[in-house]
Structure 1
Amino acid sequence: MSLIGKLLGTLVKKGRMTLITADGKRESFGPDADAKPITIRFTDRKLAFEIVRNPRLAFGEAYMDGRLIVEEGSILDLLELIVGANRWEFGGRGRKLMSKGRMSEVAALFRRNPAAKSKKNVAHHYDLSDDLYDLFLDPDRQYSCAYYTDPANSLEEAQADKKAHIAAKLDLKPGQRVLDIGCGWGGMALYLNRVAGVDVLGITLSKEQLKVARERAEAAGVADHVKFELIDYRSLTGSFDRIVSVGMFEHVGAAHYDEFFATCHRLLAQDGVMLLHTIGKLGSAGSPDPFTNKWIFPGYHLPSLSQMNASSEKVRLIASDTEMLRVHYAYTLRAWLERCDARRADIVAMYDERFYRMWEFYLAGGIVMFENGSACNFQVQYIRDRYALPITRDYMAEAEARYRASELAR
């Protein structure tokens, strides 16, 4: 059996897939001959060796470049077959083989993201065409994990519930000053102002996001109370009653965790509350996925809970509440992929087929990462003073229900 055959034979433990090599030979893998057919074809002889040497990067790049063609099924079907048979919970040889070619954990820990590099990395992804994001995001452009109180909910419902869920954990009071680190297109900042009457400063490193956020605040007539700035969090001064950060911590980099939490401690009022929402890793943090790091989010790092705790503890930030969202992002990514698939022709016209396949692989890879891999989402609430919040969590449920009702009444 060929090297690629041995690799696929180890990875495909259920279902059935067929590989057609560049010279026309067919090999089938998996125990279930009656399963949904998945057939892939390699267009050149070098690809098999490249995948064996570095499967995580070569597999995605080959699909993106059209050197790996899925002739039956979809790229999501293929990834579900492979990753679903090698779930994180079970460990085993398959997961070790899929990790070949990744950056070492030590190298990942020492990768640095100074301000200039962080700005460049953010622009790589978030300064893509606004039209692209409008094709698959909800109207508020929430580009982070939604909160599915029911898996049958629409993306719009789940994103609205996400905002209410996060806002409730901030224990907001009218007139408070809130900092939104990594504010995106301004949706969370505008929401907090609308439901709780707080003043918000949103900061971003994306010029395109800044432009849209400011336009939205002006259009809503709240520009005096919801402001946006193009600034690195490390350069900010002042004091804030509340800090919220959603989907930004992934871009901080492990080498800067101490710096991030020290900055948040400095900016947070003594009786303040902070809510950090981030993609994280089950178990140890490990190293970044090479395809995602190269093509989607340069310089990213997904933290383990222990990494976050180690850095926040150094500055005596108290992790007063911690919640793990296990599969909510899988539901979110499925909604995004379905919308992208429905608008494939528009995305191809906007960019090209290669870009679409890259984007498709990114979203499909994210789905299987949250359904069967090591990814999850953390929402961690931090305080400087143990008496800053009520002694039970009842206030969260009450506020969340109130915010949902107020939005439904609009």
Structure 2
Amino acid sequence: MNIINTLISTISSHSPSGVCFSIEFPDGQTKVFGRGKQSFSILIKTPKVYGAIAAKGLLGVGEQYMLGNFDITGDMDKAMITMATIFGATKLNENLWFKGLETGKKLIFRETKDKSLKDIGAHYDISNDFYKLFLDSTMTYSCAYFKSNKDSLEQAQHQKYEHLARKLRLRKGETLLDIGCGWGGMLIYAAQKYGVSGYGVTLSENQFSYARQLIAKLKLGHLVKVELKDYRDIRGQYDKFISIGMFEHVTKHYYEVFFDIVKKSLKPDGLGVLHTIGFNNNRSQTSPWMTTYIFPGSQIPALSWTIDSLTQSDLYPQDLENLRPHYALTLLSWIRNFEKAYTKVVHEKGERFARMWKFYLYLSRASFVVNISQLYQITFTNGINNQLHLTREEIYRTAK
């Protein structure tokens, strides 16, 4: 009973204002929080849920949802935003968002090439057909760039590529290195739109196979090359550098290695952009539920860690932009697509897998909505470059 009272007290103290919802407990009792029309209801089916939350925080909540030990009816988006608000508001030493982290700390520092290959494969090699269920036709699995809430997901992803291309000041005939190139979207865009010669690496066999076939289909083999390779094995120098959504898979103890590779790979005065999820405070860490079930071996960087590591490798930050609201919108599009395909996912992958991914997508969106997670685009140079634009006007101008 003490666990229930503590849970009710925590929810009452930290629930966002203006939200009304209810929790139905296994004994049939119902507790209503807030006033007005209820947005959602949480049905707890077994007392096991209490112990899981008390012992593991968000890790326990995610596990119990995957097992079907509680359900959410009504507006799940608002429910997860409410949950993220409550968990994120607790004190750090009691923080339900990161509880259970200590048990996983020993695992995140052994970033061998074999382990990186295994970790990436666990997430990205589920199947290309699975990712097609909720991504757009460009197969872009990273934050899009919305100029309007009415933009389609595909339109917003193309706008993201153009936004990055302008930050990189891409020019015909230049060479572009893409670390963590995914299904090849940025490289293909740069080649088609700007005539850039691109080279990308990925550790996902499915991404590698898909990208190679698409490059051949588009007859871009003379401009774009993708290899199944660890970033630590990259050789050669390039005019420009890009990495989109890969840095989260590099743990803090390997930042020096990563940025030293970037520096060696980028020509003097070369320009690069790092597009990464991040946290604002320097004590932040990836949720243990995410590292256990979704992104093994990952670590979301604090902004201060990233900037410090850049400068220690003699790479000079020139510009920083936070696209946090854009990732919330991107995830909303993915969620809508995933919900449409949910029955198919259950049929092909099973109920537990489907619930796990549903929880992941909603939780990720909530973390951006409530300002736990950020999306940074950091533009930097290899050495002093005084030829950059004095303003951002060139980036934001309307294309002719």
The CA deviation at 1:130 is: 1.2
The CA deviation at 1:105 is: 11
Q: Which residue does 1:390 correspond to in 2? A: 388
Task: Indicate the SS of the match to 1:40.
Answer: strand
Task: Indicate the SS of the match to 1:98.
Answer: coil
**Which of 12, 28, 31 is the aligned partner of 1:28?**
31
Within-5 A mapping of 1:117-266? 117-266=115-264
The CA deviation at 1:302 is: 1.0
Q: 1: CA distance between counterparts of 2:155 and 2:289?
A: 31
Q: Which residue does 1:69 correspond to in 2? A: 71
Task: Indicate the SS of the match to 1:69.
Answer: strand
**Which of 339, 346, 355 is the aligned partner of 1:348?**
346
Q: Is the 8 A contact 1:43 1:68 kept in 2?
A: yes
Q: Is the 8 A contact 2:24 2:42 kept in 1?
A: yes
Paired amino acid for 1:221: K
Matched, 1:4 2:4: yes
Q: What is the number of equivalent residue pairs in this alignment? A: 396
Task: Indicate the SS of the match to 1:279.
Answer: strand
Moved more, 162-171 or 320-329: 320-329
The CA deviation at 1:9 is: 2.9
Q: Is the 8 A contact 1:11 1:94 kept in 2?
A: no
Cα 1:99/1:263, change in 2 over 3 Å = same
Q: 1: CA distance between counterparts of 2:239 and 2:11?
A: 50
Q: CA RMSD in A?
A: 2.3
The CA deviation at 1:98 is: 2.0
Matched, 1:78 2:82: no
Q: Which residue does 2:21 correspond to in 1? A: 17
Q: Is the 8 A contact 1:112 1:253 kept in 2?
A: no
The CA deviation at 1:92 is: 4.9
Paired amino acid for 1:17: F
Task: Indicate the SS of the match to 2:255.
Answer: helix
Q: Is the 8 A contact 2:174 2:239 kept in 1?
A: yes
Alpha-carbon displacement from aligned partner over 1:27-52 (angstroms, at most 9, x marks no partner)? 414232x2325322233232211112
Q: 2: CA distance between counterparts of 1:128 and 1:10?
A: 37
**Which of 312, 315, 320 is the aligned partner of 1:314?**
312
Q: Is the 8 A contact 1:105 1:287 kept in 2?
A: no
The CA deviation at 1:274 is: 0.8
Task: Indicate the SS of the match to 2:133.
Answer: helix
Q: 1: CA distance between counterparts of 2:246 and 2:152?
A: 24
Task: Indicate the SS of the match to 1:321.
Answer: strand
**Which of 55, 58, 63 is the aligned partner of 1:56?**
58
The CA deviation at 1:75 is: 3.6
Q: Is the 8 A contact 1:18 1:26 kept in 2?
A: no
Q: 2: CA distance between counterparts of 1:109 and 1:270?
A: 36
Cα 1:82/1:17, change in 2 over 3 Å = same
Task: Indicate the SS of the match to 1:136.
Answer: coil
Unaligned runs of 5+ in 2: none
Q: 2: CA distance between counterparts of 1:304 and 1:53?
A: 26
The CA deviation at 1:246 is: 0.4
TM-score relative to the length of structure 1: 0.90
Unaligned runs of 5+ in 1: 406-410
Q: Is the 8 A contact 2:104 2:288 kept in 1?
A: no
Q: Is the 8 A contact 2:197 2:223 kept in 1?
A: yes
Overall identity of the aligned pairs, in %: 32
Q: Which residue does 1:408 correspond to in 2? A: none
Cα 1:203/1:110, change in 2 over 3 Å = closer
